[in-house]
Structure 1
Amino acid sequence: MGRKILKWWRRGSLIGVRGLEFSDRQRVVVINQFVILALMITLSYQITYLLTDFERMRPLMVVHSVTMLVLLMALWANYQRSHITAALLALGAPTLIQIPIVTYLISADSGLHIFLLSGGVLTFLVFSDRLRWLRYGLLLVSTVLFMVLDQYCKAEIAPVQLSSEQLVVMRVLNIAGFVLMLYILSYLFHGQLIQQRRRIQRQARALALLANTDDLTQLPNRRRIISEAQPNGLFKGVVAIADIDHFKGVNDRHGHAVGDAILKGVAEIMEASIRDIDTVGRWGGEEFIFLLSHSSPEEARLVLERVREQIEAYELNFQSRDYRVTISIGMAVMNQHRSFDEALRIADAALYRGKRLGRNCVVDEAVAY
């Protein structure tokens, strides 16, 4: 039974939220949850009146019935995506109909009018900053109504006379319900804050990834490579620069679409061919950079030779044609005696030495000059 209630609660909370942005979605969920909660509380009043003193409570039951009808209209308005109308109906039904009229009928000694004080909190949950005038307007109305009802609706002149014992029981129940309502509103408000914080964190991670990732190859870009290689000199190992041989000619003869496809294919092979501890990124144009962590020159050469051989064997089929490319790689050691910029300069010199030696090779710093 509890699972069914929870299922219907969740389903009802999501009425009319499809396609909404996060902040608007949260406000609509709060409206739906408040309406469902108000319907449950009002229905419990109706059942209590029906089982205790139906004849005397008939005027109250009429008011509650009208209120329930308006609350159902609020759910329908949300379903029809008229969210501001839904919010006005949801807050207006208890604030302007149910609480004032019922309090007038049975007196403020019942404590029902205390629920008006929760309306001000709700306005901040369901109305955006763009509608702040509605927030403060409803807050003002609910506060004024509370003071008027508390001052003038006395038990002695109430149209529906209840015994003092009945009024005491109702006051206790209403105060308890008001406290419960505040807890629920606090929970909803806290939930909104958590959801917003998580959303901001997700956006921050997505932006950080976007700022540090090459759009075409999805490899780390120059910014990220530099940040990984330079902080506090923690990176130790081998830095290598790779360049696709004759890439400009490929672009000139076959077009940039083929060039882009080759870059993506080469990037995938590079990423698949290195070790888990290594990093490969796009340095710019047809150049790629490797950070081979905690590697000796011999270990690094084995990894880079494997990358070179895999790319030499790679055949790209694009637009019903086959394309082959090779790469040249220059490498240099980076340690506590050599900065990243210095290692990069030596690796770049080794790369161009490889170009002069005939391309499609891995050249270390020993033969860079």
Structure 2
Amino acid sequence: MSHPSVTTPIKTVPRDTSRSFWKLMYQVSLVGAVTHLLFAGLFYWLGATTMAWVNLGSVTLFTISYGCLKTRRNLLASILIVSEILIHAALAVRSIGWDSGFHYYLLVMVPVVVISTMRHRSYKYLLSCLVFVLYVVLDHTVRNTAPLHVLSSETLSWLRGFNTSVTFSLLFYLSSLYLKLVIKAEKKLRIQATTDPLTQLLNRRSFLELADYELTQRKRHLAPLAFVLADIDHFKSINDQHGHAVGDAVLKAVSQVLSQALREQDSVARWGGEEFLILMPNATLEAASMVAERLREKVSAVEVVVDAQTIKVSMTFGVSSHRLEEPVDGPVNRADSALYQGKARGRNQVVAEAH
């Protein structure tokens, strides 16, 4: 089925945001380990063996932090990652010199701190200030200080360009990754807000918003619009005899049949309990009744097997047609009346409202 997008206000769920952030931290630890492994080889090639060993130590710390994240020791992992970045940047700048550009990696800390899931915002400010202070201190103390390992101006220029490129690449990669995680979390929240968790059909609220949209379209184009209210026959008996787990299985099976058998432009929602409401744009009362009859036949073929016992399912359908200028309640109430007429006549049938 396809239908216009429905904008439903949703509440921010901290748990999903937190999960997205820690997925980002997984990537930080992995990228950090790979990056410092490359730097270990680079420093060894430049003759700065001390920094080569420091980078191998950093690889070890990032590997440990990844393991901590996997075992949900997030605080320890965060401390290791933050400490490594701050200390390593300071040591690299002091060892190779300010012109090497290793202080750029401190900038990577800023967006990570800002999007972190720290409970107290003051901690973000403190950590951001710490990064800023370290950057300023390095600028004032190291810029005009001779490095421990003197490199040629050509090598420094190449190294600075390399660090600039890596810093921008890291910022772009981490920002893109976090955006992707947030969009995925928002999509999940939107689905949760607009669908019934058991049947995965539209819930009542999202259906009513969609119906309002279709009523607006009907006023504009004067196309017919039909409503079909369906109810599973003897559903209470199924729950009482076999338990709610079996009742849920019946609801899922019926939901699947309804969603697959409807026209592409139609929409179906779990209206409540064992009731389902179908919206059929561009369908007359007669056309909607024919579709409802087809649905009734398909539902009648549904069998739910429980403990070698087969449960047969049937549904009764009430069909109504929207009349201009009336709210959604009008056709829904008439479909409900037609439905109960069908119940009174013996169930497992389609009844259309009287013209």
Tell whether the structures are fold-level matches, with TM greater than 0.5.
Answer: yes
Output one character per residue of 1:266-315: Cα deviation in whole Å (capped at 9) or x when no partner: 22222232222222221101111111221122221221111111222322
C-alpha distance in 2, partners of 1:87/1:31?
A: 11
C-alpha distance in 1, partners of 2:95/2:250?
A: 76
C-alpha distance in 2, partners of 1:95/1:116?
A: 8
C-alpha distance in 2, partners of 1:222/1:310?
A: 24
Look up the match of 1:347: 335
Change (3 A) 1:114 1:229: same
- In structure 1, give the amino acid aligned to 2:306: F
C-alpha distance in 2, partners of 1:237/1:37?
A: 65
- In structure 2, give the amino acid aligned to 1:264: K
Q: CA deviation at 1:116?
A: 5.0
Change (3 A) 1:132 1:175: farther
Q: CA deviation at 1:142?
A: 5.0
| Residue 92 (structure 1) aligned with residue 110 (structure 2) | no
TM-score, L = length of structure 1: 0.73
Name which of 184, 191, 197 aligns with 2:173.
191
C-alpha distance in 1, partners of 2:144/2:313?
A: 89
Q: CA deviation at 1:352?
A: 1.3
Look up the match of 1:304: 292
Q: CA deviation at 1:79?
A: 2.1
C-alpha distance in 1, partners of 2:352/2:45?
A: 82
Change (3 A) 1:285 1:30: same
Q: State the superposition RMSD in angstroms.
A: 3.1
Look up the match of 1:175: 157
| Residue 66 (structure 1) aligned with residue 60 (structure 2) | no
Q: Does structure 2 conserve the Cα–Cα contact (< 8 Å) formed by 1:100 and 1:113?
A: no
User: Which 10-residue stretch deviates more, 352-361 or 34-43?
Assistant: 34-43
Q: Does structure 2 conserve the Cα–Cα contact (< 8 Å) formed by 1:237 and 1:334?
A: yes
| Residue 212 (structure 1) aligned with residue 197 (structure 2) | no
Q: Does structure 2 conserve the Cα–Cα contact (< 8 Å) formed by 1:354 and 1:362?
A: yes
Look up the match of 1:243: 231
Q: Does structure 2 conserve the Cα–Cα contact (< 8 Å) formed by 1:31 and 1:126?
A: no
C-alpha distance in 2, partners of 1:192/1:137?
A: 21
User: Which 10-residue stretch deviates more, 25-34 or 285-294?
Assistant: 25-34
User: Which 10-residue stretch deviates more, 354-363 or 31-40?
Assistant: 31-40
C-alpha distance in 1, partners of 2:278/2:27?
A: 45
- In structure 2, give the amino acid aligned to 1:67: M
Look up the match of 2:8: none
- In structure 2, give the amino acid aligned to 1:268: Q
- In structure 1, give the amino acid aligned to 2:207: I
User: Which 10-residue stretch deviates more, 181-190 or 340-349?
Assistant: 181-190
Q: CA deviation at 1:139?
A: 4.8
User: Which 10-residue stretch deviates more, 175-184 or 310-319?
Assistant: 175-184
* Percent of residue pairs bearing the same amino acid type: 27
Output one character per residue of 1:162-216: Cα deviation in whole Å (capped at 9) or x when no partner: 9xxxx7xx22442343243223212211222222122111111111111111122
Q: CA deviation at 1:365?
A: 1.1
C-alpha distance in 2, partners of 1:135/1:365?
A: 67
- In structure 1, give the amino acid aligned to 2:332: L
C-alpha distance in 1, partners of 2:212/2:348?
A: 29
User: Which 10-residue stretch deviates more, 180-189 or 64-73?
Assistant: 180-189
Output one character per residue of 1:314-366: Cα deviation in whole Å (capped at 9) or x when no partner: 22211221212321111111254443221111111111121222221111111
| Residue 283 (structure 1) aligned with residue 277 (structure 2) | no
C-alpha distance in 1, partners of 2:110/2:35?
A: 13
C-alpha distance in 2, partners of 1:147/1:94?
A: 15
Q: Relative contact order, CA 8 A, sep 6+: which one is greater?
A: 2
Q: CA deviation at 1:45?
A: 1.6
Larger gyration radius, structure 1 or structure 2: 1
Q: Does structure 1 conserve the Cα–Cα contact (< 8 Å) formed by 2:266 and 2:281?
A: yes
Q: Per the alignment, in what secondary structure is the counterpart of residue 291 of structure 2?
A: helix
Output one character per residue of 1:86-110: Cα deviation in whole Å (capped at 9) or x when no partner: 65446534623x543555xxxxxxx
Q: Per the alignment, in what secondary structure is the counterpart of residue 363 of structure 1?
A: strand
Name which of 115, 118, 127 aligns with 2:104.
118
Q: Per the alignment, in what secondary structure is the counterpart of residue 21 of structure 1?
A: helix
Q: Per the alignment, in what secondary structure is the counterpart of residue 299 of structure 2?
A: helix
| Residue 225 (structure 1) aligned with residue 219 (structure 2) | no
- Greater percentage in helix: 1
Look up the match of 1:79: 63
C-alpha distance in 2, partners of 1:207/1:99?
A: 44
Name which of 340, 344, 348 aligns with 1:360.
348
- In structure 2, give the amino acid aligned to 1:115: G
C-alpha distance in 1, partners of 2:176/2:188?
A: 18
Q: Per the alignment, in what secondary structure is the counterpart of residue 318 of structure 2?
A: strand
Corresponding residue pairs, total: 312
C-alpha distance in 2, partners of 1:250/1:145?
A: 74
Q: CA deviation at 1:134?
A: 5.8
C-alpha distance in 2, partners of 1:247/1:152?
A: 82
Q: CA deviation at 1:21?
A: 2.5
| Residue 31 (structure 1) aligned with residue 51 (structure 2) | no
- In structure 2, give the amino acid aligned to 1:230: D
